[in-house]
Structure 1
Amino acid sequence: MAKFMDVHHGMKGVTAEQLQAAHQADLAIEGAEGVHFEHAWADPASGDVFCLSEAPSADAVQRVHERAGHRADEIHPVPLSV
């Protein structure tokens, strides 16, 4: 499976509790698409949220996010990591 980094914009002021709730919503349904969300980060000042996942495709990542109620604005493949 491939790794993906997705970005959500417009979440200015997001709290740790809100980030955790959104991440848990993804985790609750990720299996239906064969996705695994590994980690999420947020910058409350800019409103950007980043999620790292392992998935069969970017479309599968987006379907999980859409069903969880927070569509990603960008999804980038991560072909190399160290």
Structure 2
Amino acid sequence: MTQFMDVHHGMVGITEDQLRQAHQADLAIEKDEGVHFQRAWADPTSGTVYCLSEGPSADAVQRIHERAGHKADEIHEVPLTIS
């Protein structure tokens, strides 16, 4: 599976609970597209949210986000990872 980092803009003031709810909405339907959302981060001040996922394509990731009600503004393939 390919990893993807997606970015959402315009979520100024997002709370931890709202981030958790958005992430849970993705998790509830992710299997429909063969995607797995691994982690999410947010900066409430700038309104930027980042999500790390893996799946068959950026389009599959976007379809889940759209169905969950928070379309990504950017989706980037992550071809290299180190720990």
1:4 Cα deviation after fit: 0.1
For normalisation by structure 2, the TM-score amounts to: 0.98
Letter in 2 for 1:25: A
Identity of aligned residues (%): 74
Structure 1 stretches of 4+ moved >6 Å: none
1:15 Cα deviation after fit: 0.1
1:24 Cα deviation after fit: 0.1
Corresponding position of 2:69 = 69
Letter in 2 for 1:63: R
In the alignment, structure 2 segments of 5+ residues that lack a partner are: none
For normalisation by structure 1, the TM-score amounts to: 1.00
Corresponding position of 2:40 = 40
Corresponding position of 1:27 = 27
Q: RMSD over aligned Cα, in angstroms?
A: 0.2
Is residue 2:12 matched to residue 1:12? Answer: yes
Letter in 2 for 1:19: L
CA distance in 2 between partners of 1:5 and 1:45 (Å):
20
